Amino acid sequence: MQYKNWLISVLVMSSSGALAIHPQPDPDNPGGYLLDRGEVQATEAALTANPMYALWADALQTRSNVLVEAIVPDASSNPDNVKRAERVFPQAQWEYLTQMAAPEYTYTRFLRAIGKFPAFCGDYTDGRDADAICKRSIITAFAHFAQETGGHIAKTNIWDNPLGLEEWQQALVHVREMGWSEGQAGYTTGCGQNDWQNLRWPCSPGKGYFGRGAKQLSYHFNYGAFSEVMYDGDATVLLNNPGLVADSWLNLASAIWFFLTPQAPKPAMLHVIDRTWVPSQREVDAGIGYGFGTTINIINGGIECGEQNRYKGQPVNRIRYWQDLADYYQIPIQADELNTCYQQTPYGSLNLSGATDVLYTNWDGNWQHFADRPGGYSFECQLVGYQTAYSALVPGDYEKCVSNFYQSHANWPAVRVVDNLDIPPTDPPANGTPAWEAGKVYNNGDQVSYQGANYQAKWWTQGDTPGQGNVWELLP
């Protein structure tokens, strides 16, 4: 799937400073409205003008599966980011860390997973050391693999660990969640409900969406979203065949996708590692900054971070694995990095109400009242800090949010977005009185100017032209 890497720079502004939206009655749908696509796109661009949105979107660009599936170790045709991964983490190192791994995980599949996402082990043009960032990214991933899918067998247990492997050498043992196998229908909570998740990512009958792959991808909405990325927007591929996340190179690609995807307000793990992300003041106040500890907070902060979880098994394991791996691979730890997250507030408990320096990546309907628009409806969507069906990083999703959100709420008018909507011109203000607007709602006593004359509304009105009919009183 190609993700947006553009921003519309020209914004249509009203005299109040808000973006101009001019809903027009829909002649084909009584009670419905038409919106101009240019105004809709300008609104989206204004809401995503922060440069981080373009950076996030660029990090989620992908290559076609045809190109990816041609990747094999040492091939001269391999993409540059794959060649970098081979250079800093050659096959011998893969084998050193995967001696206990399930056979479904291979070095070739690992390289293909990286090849799908050019930003992983990608280039930097600002002087940052791309090789060092690549190596740190891979080792960070393995520290989490060792916890999520590791063997967790003591080195002294010669019966189950005859090679005497360290626990940080025991990653990727499980390709499916323990206790689950193909053919079992499970993790179907919410399937079949009449809600936005099922409208966009409908469950396939009889399929199980239990944990699979290096990141243990779970639940239909995650399978659907990942499928859209892997198959050019087609959510049904993995919803109908979730076993591909275990039995193909998707078992590692799912982890790379998670590594690169911000779950706002959580940043992408890559951008914590390469320091593209700058923590907000709320995050700094909550102890959240650079270092491995923040990657734990991103993955599972709700049950692994905070003082109450300081000695809990999962975070203790992750930290131990990271420290041992970082030591073995000689990864320097900077003075401002923390390996732990017990001193951090979990993201799910972080109060971001009123914060102006925190960015979100999902769209939902804007419920604010706009007195100058029909019915007071906003005819807009807004960025929110929870998952919805619409992402600010996917082109077209904002327009879908505006159209689908309004159509799916009985009390809101239906909306269609069209090109080149004929928006009636607005007169300039006369004698300091604001010009009349056809789509604006006016109440008794409101004054407007129209064609050089001033008028006062006698009662509630919308769309009634001053000077025509008896709604408006001509003022001296």
Strand (E) or helix (H) holding 273: helix 269-273
- What residue type is 161 in one-letter code? N
Contacts 24+ apart (CB under 8 A), 161-166: 161/100, 163/99, 163/100, 165/99, 165/100, 166/324
Looking at residue 429, the DSSP 8-state letter turns out to be P
Residue pair 347/283 in contact by the 8 Å Cβ criterion: no
- What residue type is 140 in one-letter code? T
Count CA within 13 A, CB hemisphere, residue 284. Answer: 8
Give the CA diameter of the chain. Answer: 99
User: Distance between CA atoms of 372 and 364, rounded to whole angstroms?
Assistant: 21
Active-site choice (44, 86, 104, 148): 148
Q: How many helices (H) and strands (E) does the chain have?
A: 17, 11
Four-CA torsion 464, 467, 470, 471, nearest 10 degrees: 40
Verify whether residue 95 is a known catalytic residue.
no
Radius of gyration of the chain (CA): 27
Residue pair 134/288 in contact by the 8 Å Cβ criterion: no
What is each CA distance from 149 to 100, 203, 211, 274, in whole angstroms? 11, 25, 10, 25
Helix (H, G, I), strand (E, B) or coil at 454: strand
* Cα 28–Cα 33–Cα 36 angle in degrees, nearest 5: 105
User: Distance between CA atoms of 152 and 168, rounded to whole angstroms?
Assistant: 8
User: Distance between CA atoms of 291 and 341, rounded to whole angstroms?
Assistant: 9
Q: Burial level of 384, CB count in 10 A (0-12/13-18/19+)?
A: middle
* Cα 326–Cα 79–Cα 229 angle in degrees, nearest 5: 85
453-457 and 390-391 beta bridge pairing: unpaired
User: Distance between CA atoms of 381 and 388, rounded to whole angstroms?
Assistant: 12
Q: Which residues are catalytic?
A: 148
